[in-house]
Amino acid sequence: MKKRLLLHVCCAPDATVPYQRLKDEYEVIAFFYNPNIHGEEEYQKRLHEVERLAKLWDFPLIVGEYNVEQWFSAVRGLEDEPEGGKRCEVCYSLRLEETAKLAKELGCEAFATVLTISPHKKAEKINAIGKEAGERHGIAYLESDFKKKDGFKESVRISRELNLYRQNYCGCRFSMR
């Protein structure tokens, strides 16, 4: 029997390659939890595309709370940080903490995130944060660097093929500048 893994998903294009790479070894459950996304309309657009992919590829999807206020209060004072800086660390941490907590509640064996597929994000930083969240909740964090072996390029190819919406900014209001 395959181990169950809760996979934090931020958008459909970024979920493509991670899902394909994990699905043979794990029973993957996707978790869309992204209170960082600025604007309800943008949030719904990204969520809709993840739902479409989940139907198309037949994997279960859990949608987390869109608790924008909690996100803003977590990053208060870090608004002017550059992308990849301290604000992003808090943003990764908030999302991975919630994923670890839910993975434990669901009785999964591990959790992971698709965030490491982004060429703009450092996998080491995300993995360190994921590991700490896993230790806090007593659940294994699966380290990844999905951009490796042309992972990002492949995600662009699949997204075009499936006509998935791909945004041109990370997510929060501050990443739109």
Residues that bind ligand SF4 (CB under 6 A): 36, 83, 87-88, 91, 170-172, 174-175
State the nearest-atom distance from the C-beta of 152 to ligand SF4, in Å.
16
Query: How many Cβ atoms are within 10 Å of 70's Cβ, its own excluded?
Result: 12
**110-113 and 61-63 strand pairing:** unpaired
In terms of CB distance, is 130 or 171 closer to ligand SF4? 171
State the nearest-atom distance from the C-beta of 117 to ligand SF4, in Å.
13
In terms of CB distance, is 123 or 170 closer to ligand SF4? 170
In terms of CB distance, is 83 or 154 closer to ligand SF4? 83
State the nearest-atom distance from the C-beta of 161 to ligand SF4, in Å.
26
In terms of CB distance, is 10 or 22 closer to ligand SF4? 10
Contact 31/60 with Cβ under 8 angstroms? Answer: no
State the nearest-atom distance from the C-beta of 23 to ligand SF4, in Å.
25
Q: Quote the CA–CA distance of 81 and 130 in Å, as a whole number.
A: 21
* 8-state DSSP, 165: -
Give the side-chain half-sphere CA count within 13 A for 141.
Answer: 27
State the nearest-atom distance from the C-beta of 43 to ligand SF4, in Å.
12
Question: Based on the number of CB atoms within 10 Å of its own CB, is 125 exposed (0-12), middle (13-18) or buried (19 or more)?
Answer: middle
In the numeric block, the tokens 């699905």 are attached to 23
In terms of CB distance, is 33 or 174 closer to ligand SF4? 174
